Amino acid sequence: MSDILKAIRLTNGNGMEVTLLNYGARIASIQFNGQEMLVTYDDINGFLDDDLYLGATCGRVCNRISDGRFCVDGKSYQLAQNNGGNCLHGGIDNFSYRYWTVEEDSVTEQSVTMTLHSADGDQGFPGDLRVTVTYRLTGDNQLHIDFNGQSDQATPINLTNHAYFNLGATSGQSLQLQLMSSMRLNRNDKEMPDGSFHNISGTDYNFRELTLVGQRQQQTQDPELLAMGGFDHCFILDNSPFNEAKARLVAKQQGIEMRLYTDQSAIQFYTGKYLDGQFQSYEGLCLEAQNYTDAVNQPHFPNSILRPGQTYQHTTVYEFRTL
């Protein structure tokens, strides 16, 4: 296995270019209409010291697991508590920090598959897991991300892409967002779901109509949003057909729109408060399509356990258009 940083460039003959890295199976860059769509490092080596998950494939279980603890089939597991007593994005040495294997025979101008072997006990998780991420760039400016996994023992799994979008604007705050969701997960004082749901109609969490993110964030009087300094919440998506966009981002000044399609049940909407170092807070925002947060500890949430003989398979598409 090579621990050498590799960049794979996808092109679609229509002016769009995507740069991927084997490190963390990350999206390093999306160039559309001659502009950079993501918060990114000028030099790809910057990703090697990244702790913000820029463009990263997060897992074995993205987002948080309460107290880093879960039970599967009566057996209890304790993971690293790498974020406020919880396990974040799969632990300390999670998938974002691994060199994935580029399947050389999968590489074409428009697509590539990367694989990762996560051994039984990796970061405390049970089961020998093999995951693949296939990126495919189409001629009509869609970047498809197919996640796939199989395990020899029952294990929780929840994979997502953690790109920070700004669509060429200087901040995610200047983007307009439409999010096809009517409910979010309530959070307890440990930033974890308490298992209840919040109907967001008529609240500052409601983005069913295209809404300027910064204006909503700066004008809110919602105590939780004020205390958190923005959004970092799990939104339950409408149960609509895959070809109906679950989210839209618009950069009016740049004349660019991104539509997100997914078969996932939720999106973690994070406005990027913790961006730091060479980046500004809120410089980009994340729409992380995934399962409900901490589903392994909430029996009434959608199942997150992958069992032997089953295949974990999810697809998310980022589609870029000019206005």
Active site members: 162, 288
Residues marked as binding?
Answer: 63-64, 162-164, 232
Q: Which of 75, 82, 81, 28 is CA-nearest to residue 56?
A: 28
Minimum gap (Å) between residue 232 Cβ and ligand G6D: 5
| Cβ atoms of residues 260 and 289 within 8 Å | yes
Residues that bind ligand G6D (CB under 6 A): 52-53, 83, 88, 232, 270, 274
Minimum gap (Å) between residue 233 Cβ and ligand G6D: 9
Minimum gap (Å) between residue 272 Cβ and ligand G6D: 8
Minimum gap (Å) between residue 258 Cβ and ligand G6D: 19
Q: Which of 140, 132, 168 is CA-nearest to residue 261?
A: 140
In whole angstroms, what is the distance from residue 26 CA to residue 224 CA? Answer: 31
| Cβ atoms of residues 48 and 55 within 8 Å | no
Minimum gap (Å) between residue 208 Cβ and ligand G6D: 22
In whole angstroms, what is the distance from residue 9 CA to residue 19 CA? Answer: 4
Q: What is the DSSP letter of 11?
A: E
Q: Quick check: helix, strand or coil at residue 172?
A: helix
Burial 109-138 (b: 16+ CB within 10 A, else e): ebbbbbbbebeeebbbbbbbbebbbbbbbe
Residues marked as binding for beta-D-galactose?
Answer: 63-64, 162-164, 232
Closer residue to ligand G6D (CB): 113 or 158: 158
Closer residue to ligand G6D (CB): 70 or 270: 270
In whole angstroms, what is the distance from residue 110 CA to residue 304 CA? Answer: 31
In whole angstroms, what is the distance from residue 49 CA to residue 97 CA? Answer: 9
